[in-house]
Amino acid sequence: MKISVIGVGAMGGALVEGLLQIPEINPSDITVSDPSEKAVNRFAHSGVSLSTDNGAAALGADIVVVVVKPWLVEQVLTNMRDALNLKEQIIIIIAAGVPSSSIKEWLDQDNGIKPRLFLAIPNTAIAVRESMTFVVPVDASPEDTRTIADLFSQLGHCMVTEERLLAAGTTLASCGIAYAMRYVRASVEGGVEIGFKAKEAEQIVLQTVKGAVSLLQATGEHPEAAVDKVTTPGGVTIKGLNEMEHAGFTSAVIRGLKAGMKQ
């Protein structure tokens, strides 16, 4: 399977890092393209093919992944459109808020061929194969959908969903990873205030969050049921939780998620 990644900024670069960790994918089967030589040279010693020409990079690929800022999608697609083989290649667009109807218009080669198109939204944990990725098939066959879902499943967890839910998925998982990191930062700062050195507090918080996630995944429990197990009546845990709620913790999280939905 030959994969071309067009655009290797923060998200595109993270995707390539993840792909390079999949044993079944040879680095020589990956091509990265970006107008910035500095961006592509980041992968100069990884065994992938490098290019600053998007059209040339797409030639011969089985899967072409376009990972650019939303306002650049039209320009990138129209400039490389004639180099694409829409009958043979699967096209994946990773760009929040760009509708499939516009993408199909920009890919139109006036030959009646519908692109085998997917919209995808991962998060930056894809670099360590721990992404939560949403995939939307657009005029794609069930076989193509299985191929793409399997690919992203090797880079974390993949959910095949509808286009109408992509914005919600973006704020919950793609933006959500930043929200989780902000919680970690706040807990580390709190750890320093109550007596730990910064690095010690960071190790404690990261392991605690990792443990909470692993526990919920292993047991399938509702988070509140797991909370109840560690909230002794009159104990310090319930006092801390109630103080956070008095400050609007749950409300702030929900409001933040809803704000992320606003265009």
Q: Which of 16, 91, 74 shows the shortest CA–CA distance to 49?
A: 16
* CB atoms closer than 10 angstroms to residue 120: 21
Alpha helices in the chain (DSSP H): 10-19, 37-41, 54-58, 73-80, 100-107, 142-153, 166-169, 176-193, 198-219, 223-229, 236-246, 249-261
Mean predicted lDDT score pLDDT of the chain = 95
pLDDT at 110: 85
What percentage of the chain exceeds 70 in pLDDT?
A: 99
Return d(Cα 136, Cα 169) in angstroms, integer: 11
Which of 72-81, 110-119, 178-187 has the lowest average pLDDT?
Answer: 110-119
pLDDT at 154: 98
Q: In what order do the strands lie in the sheet with 156-160?
A: 49-51, 30-33, 3-6, 63-67, 90-94, 116-121, 131-138, 156-160
User: Which residue type is seen at 68?
Assistant: V
pLDDT at 263: 57
Return d(Cα 228, Cα 238) in angstroms, integer: 9
Contact 118, 89 (CB under 8 A): no
- Rounded to an integer, the average pLDDT of 6-17 is 97
pLDDT at 190: 97
Return d(Cα 137, Cα 186) in angstroms, integer: 38
What percentage of the chain exceeds 90 in pLDDT?
A: 96
pLDDT at 260: 86
Q: Which of 135, 223, 222, 130 shows the shortest CA–CA distance to 177?
A: 130
- Rounded to an integer, the average pLDDT of 130-143 is 97
